[in-house]
């Protein structure tokens, strides 16, 4: 059964490292880890075969690729709806002089491996948070210092440098990662050709990797006249390939739009340092945007 959603919409929504769906709404779902469905298995196998043991996989295994967003809110979250609105609308005010740029920042993994990357200045980090200075509720930054935070990455948890912004009315800081991800190596396989599967769609990014690495929550897409999204998984020694597709598509006319829904996939073993891949795009998955 074919969906009539426009394929070019999916091409615009490619999930790449550092990029994902801006809407992760909808009720969450849970997908067990069966063998991939017949219509996703061939493509997933092609992606795994292309990546496993490739130069791209080797380069990816040495880089810094976050699996969660770069911001951590103050402990306990926002104190009221106005502050939550201010953060959502990126409405900030600055009442302090920000520190000057420091030199390189070091990423440290639990294994002891490290990687030094260019450090983002405090002003640049602030400007990624504060894109609005209009009317309405605001969060006021009263100071900043360089510190650290823990972040999930493609190589497991890591300690990364972060700018700690002091907010008026809060005892704990708003943290923003002070480095950017490594450049993604050129994938050894291209996107799925149109017609490979009527229902195979790209994923919108990673929402969460469980602390034990045994499950992954991603943003999956579906249309206006189907039964929702599903995600199949193909695990190999070098990769975890996730295939997003639509369930219950009909031959009737569909609205040319996509809906997004979180889906959790259980794995046979922890992700570890395996590459987490999107079957449709053939690229590594990065964090979903919220």
Domain residue spans of the chain? 7-62+185-278, 71-177
Span 7-13, average pLDDT:
37
Percent helix, strand and coil across the chain, each to the nearest 5: 15, 35, 55
Span 176-202, average pLDDT:
85
How much is the pLDDT for 83? Answer: 96
Residues 274, 240: contact at Cβ < 8 Å? yes
Is the per-residue pLDDT at 7 higher than 80? Answer: no
How much is the pLDDT for 114? Answer: 96
How much is the pLDDT for 56? Answer: 97
pLDDT classification of 37: cutoffs 50, 70, 90? low
Closest to 242 measured CA to CA, from 286, 195, 273, 202: 202
Is the per-residue pLDDT at 211 higher than 50? Answer: yes
Span 225-229, average pLDDT:
75
Q: What is the dotted CATH code of the domain comprising 71-177?
A: 2.40.128
Count of beta carbons in the 10 Å neighbourhood of residue 67: 25
Closest to 176 measured CA to CA, from 245, 127, 230, 139: 127
Is the per-residue pLDDT at 198 higher than 80? Answer: no
Q: Quote the CA–CA distance of 150 and 148 in Å, as a whole number.
A: 7
Span 125-139, average pLDDT:
89
Task: Name the helix (H) or strand (E) containing 47.
Answer: helix 38-51
Give percent of the chain above pLDDT 70: 81
How much is the pLDDT for 194? Answer: 65
Q: Quote the CA–CA distance of 169 and 139 in Å, as a whole number.
A: 9
Q: Three-state DSSP class for 278?
A: strand
Q: Quote the CA–CA distance of 201 and 28 in Å, as a whole number.
A: 18
CA distances in angstroms from 120 to 85, 114, 126, 166, 189, listed in the order given: 26, 18, 10, 18, 32
Selected residue with higher pLDDT from 290 and 42:
42
pLDDT tens digits, one per residue of 101-123: 777 899 999 999 999 999 999 99
């Amino acid at each position: 059964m074919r969906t009539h959603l426009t394929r070019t919409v999916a091409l615009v929504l490619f999930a790449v490292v550092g990029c994902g769906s801006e809407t992760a709404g909808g009720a969450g779902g849970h997908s067990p880890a069966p063998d991939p469905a017949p219509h996703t298995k061939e493509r997933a196998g092609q992606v795994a075969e292309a990546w496993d043991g490739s130069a791209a996989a080797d380069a990816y295994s040495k880089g810094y690729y976050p699996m969660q967003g770069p911001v951590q809110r103050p402990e306990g979250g926002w104190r009221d709806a106005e502050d939550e609105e201010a953060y959502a609308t990126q409405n900030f005010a600055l009442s302090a002089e920000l520190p000057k740029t420091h030199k390189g920042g070091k990423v440290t993994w639990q294994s002891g491996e490290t990687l030094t990357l260019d450090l983002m200045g405090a002003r640049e980090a602030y400007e990624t948070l504060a894109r609005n200075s209009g009317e309405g509720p605001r969060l006021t930054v009263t100071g900043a210092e360089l510190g650290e935070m823990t972040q999930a990455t493609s190589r497991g948890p890591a300690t990364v440098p972060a700018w700690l912004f002091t907010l008026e009315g809060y005892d704990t800081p708003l943290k923003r990662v002070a480095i950017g991800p490594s450049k993604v190596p050129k994938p050894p396989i291209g996107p799925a050709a149109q017609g490979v599967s009527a229902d195979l769609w790209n994923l919108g990014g990673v929402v969460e990797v469980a602390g034990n690495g045994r499950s992954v929550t991603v943003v999956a897409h579906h249309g206006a006249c189907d039964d929702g999204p599903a995600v199949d998984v193909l695990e190999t020694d070098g990769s975890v390939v996730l295939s997003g597709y639509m369930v219950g598509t009909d031959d009737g006319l569909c609205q040319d739009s996509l809906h997004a829904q979180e889906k959790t996939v259980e794995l046979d073993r922890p992700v570890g340092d395996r590459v987490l891949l999107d079957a449709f795009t053939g690229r590594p998955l990065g964090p979903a945007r919220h």
